[in-house]
Amino acid sequence: MSRHAKRLMAPRTLQIPRKEHKFIVKPSPGPHNYETSVSILIAIRDMLGLATNARETRKIIKSGKVLVDAKVRKDHKFPIGLMDILEIPEGDVLKIVMINRKGKIVLVDISKEAARTKLYKIRNKTILKGGNLQLNLHDGTNLLIPVKDPRNPEEDIYNTRDTLVVSLANKEIEKHIKYKEGSLAYITGGSHRGEIARIKEINRIRSTIPNEVILEGNDDTAFETIEEYVFVIGEESPVLPEVVFP
């Protein structure tokens, strides 16, 4: 597979100049797929404008000055995607990766306090040998939940599509937001992508057709989307109140 892609053929999720350079650097295989991620080189050079060319950008990255989710990343092709925290301390850069209402990947300002944690959507869960629980999260992260008694797993309180607020320093769960009627959701795809709405009804369909969710936006207008596009972000209010959602 080519390490580069023609800029004009890049995914429409990328908010970058289409004619400035012939090629873009493809994100390497990792926590996010090609269609929903951007390499940190593109983020720093094209989206943040912190360098004028690829050589300058690689120098910044190789110096260990770029952190993703509180970890230094020196691979200029490393992919960042939804809810990742991008930090460049020397440049006073602290951003969260979001999807705006045009379906574009955007970098949004976030406070230092909010950047201590990250929101993870539970994709599925696995029972490991010995009865412990493994939560498989939206960016490929796996979180181990120790279970004292496999015959009575009181610790198994997590469900697919719930959201976890996790400390980036120690990976401890600070908050558990249930995917349920009444919760606030951030819409990540479809015609209502980038919107925040409250879940009014979840229609579970016993077939291969995706379950449908009916939500209500700020203007009290109801709309429908599929579960895959629903990322719960709070109960009464968003857990990231200071973030201006794009």
Question: b vs e for 114-134, b when ≥16 Cβ sit within 10 Å of the residue's Cβ?
Answer: bbebbbbbbeebeeeeebbbe
**C-alpha dihedral, 154 to 160 to 165 to 168, nearest 10°:** 100
Sign of the CA dihedral running 129, 132, 138, 140: negative
Give the DSSP per-residue string, 104-161.
-EEEEE--TTGGGEEEEEEEEEEEPTTS-EEEEETTS-EEEE--S-TTS-TT----TT
CB atoms within 10 A of CB 72: 12
Q: What is the overall mean pLDDT for the chain?
A: 88
Residues listed for the chain: 246
Question: pLDDT at position 77, please?
Answer: 94
Average pLDDT over residues 27-41: 82
Kindly tell me if the per-residue pLDDT of 24 is higher than 80.
Answer: no
Domains and CATH numbers, the chain: 4-110 (3.10.290.10), 116-177 (2.40.50.740), 184-234 (2.30.30.30)
Q: Write out pLDDT tens, residues 171-192.
A: 999 999 999 999 999 999 999 9
Q: Which of the residue ranges 31-45, 104-118, 158-172 would you say has the lowest mean pLDDT?
A: 31-45
196-203 sheet: strands from edge to edge: 222-226, 212-216, 196-203, 184-187, 230-234
Q: Write out pLDDT tens, residues 207-245.
A: 888 999 999 998 889 999 999 999 999 999 999 866 655
The pTM of this model reads: 0.88
Q: Are 34 and 55 in contact (CB under 8 A)?
A: no
Average pLDDT over residues 130-136: 96
Q: When comparing pLDDT for 176 and 26, which is higher?
A: 176
- CA–chain centroid gap for 176, Å, is 16
Sign of the CA dihedral running 132, 136, 140, 146: negative
Tokens of 166: 């996790």
Distant-in-sequence, close-in-space partners of 201: CB < 8 Å, separation ≥ 6 = 181, 213, 214
